[in-house]
Amino acid sequence: MDHHFVGIPGLTGVPRVAVVIDVMRAFTVAAWAFSRGVERIVLASTESEALALKESRSGWLALKDGAPAAGFDAVNSPGLLRSCDFAGRTLVQKTTAGTVGALAVANAPLVLCASFVVAGPTARFLRNKDSGPVTFVVTGDGGQADEDLACAEYIGQRMAGDDVEAAPFLHRARTSRAAADLAGGLRSGYHPDDVDLCLEIDRFSFAMVARQEESLTVLRPVAVSDIPPPVRGSG
Ligand SMILES: O=C(O)[C@H](CS(=O)(=O)O)OP(=O)(O)O
Ligand SMILES: [Mg+2]
């Protein structure tokens, strides 16, 4: 299938089907947030918008990347998020790359946000829908981030069938600059397990679909059944 891989600066027009990839760490974090009970994630374009949205509704939480900051309840780290209890909550998320990429294609008829932890369900969701060619938005480094590109290519291949060896794609992500920066402590709001948690193939059995709801861009999990175990291979 003739998929299209593009960075945020290269987006032109509105894609028919968009899959926005951020492995490290926005859409790994989003998946963990859903697993910790979050009901929906509202994507914000700025930190001040995130705080304003949080303040406008009772019980909403806000998360941003970087260091912990006043008014925000969480940071963009799967390792720090995995012990939170967010049952039934709405979470407003703002990050440097992932949420920006999703908002850039928010008007597309079908938008999914993805990372390795939901790769199989994302591919299966698209296959079940017979979506046809996908525009993968590679959010990191202007479209050059190898952890995002590897994940996009992996999902693209799994759309054609689940018999795809994961190891070469995971190796690219593990040796990416983002992984080195994270492991080297160069990013704030970090837990030592973050890289490993970002590289767990099919940790969750849902895809994440973004839709427009009352002028907000809202991400929700959609359960996908019958995902066969991923082919891990060596490496
Ligand atoms: O928190 C992250 O890992 C990054 C922040 S930065 O781009 O590395 O400064 O944000 P994300 O949008 O999740 O890539
Ligand atoms: Mg990223």
Q: Write the pLDDT tens digit of every residue in 134-177.
A: 999 999 999 999 999 999 999 999 999 989 999 999 999 999 99
Ligand 1, pocket-test mutation among 24, 32, 116, 144, most atoms within 8 A of CB: 24
Within-domain flag for 128: yes
Q: How many domains does the chain have?
A: 1
Residues with beta carbon inside 6 Å of ligand 1?
A: 22, 24-26, 65, 76, 95-98, 140, 187
Cα angle at 94 between 211 and 44, to 5 degrees?
Answer: 45
The enclosing domain of 151 has a CATH number of 3.90.1560.10
CA of 75 to the centre of ligand 2 (A): 14
pLDDT at 232: 86
Task: Report pLDDT digits (tens) over 45-55.
Answer: 999 999 999 99
| Full domain range(s) for residue 60 | 3-207
Within-domain flag for 184: yes
Task: Report pLDDT digits (tens) over 21-53.
Answer: 999 999 999 999 999 999 999 999 999 999 999
Nearest to 157 by CA among 115, 130, 124, 128: 124
Within-domain flag for 114: yes
- pTM value is 0.97
Atom of ligand 1 nearest to the CA of 25: 13
Residue 234 has pLDDT above 80, yes or no: no
Residue 127 has pLDDT above 60, yes or no: yes
Within-domain flag for 218: no
Within-domain flag for 56: yes
Distance separating the N- and C-terminal Cα atoms of the chain: 27
pLDDT at 159: 96
Least distant ligand from the CA of 187: 1
Task: Report pLDDT digits (tens) over 178-232.
Answer: 999 999 989 899 999 999 999 999 999 999 999 999 999 999 999 998 888 999 8
Within-domain flag for 215: no
Residue nearest to atom 7 of ligand 1 (CA): 96
Alpha-carbon distance of 60 to 102, in angstroms, equals: 20
Within-domain flag for 228: no
Atom of ligand 1 nearest to the CA of 100: 12
Task: Report pLDDT digits (tens) over 56-113.
Answer: 999 999 999 999 999 999 999 999 999 999 999 999 999 999 999 999 999 999 999 9
Alpha-carbon distance of 47 to 53, in angstroms, equals: 10
Residue nearest to atom 6 of ligand 1 (CA): 96
pLDDT at 1: 78
Alpha-carbon distance of 187 to 71, in angstroms, equals: 20
Atom of ligand 1 nearest to the CA of 75: 1
Atom of ligand 1 nearest to the CA of 95: 12
ipTM score of complex: 0.94
Residue 235 has pLDDT above 60, yes or no: no
Within-domain flag for 110: yes
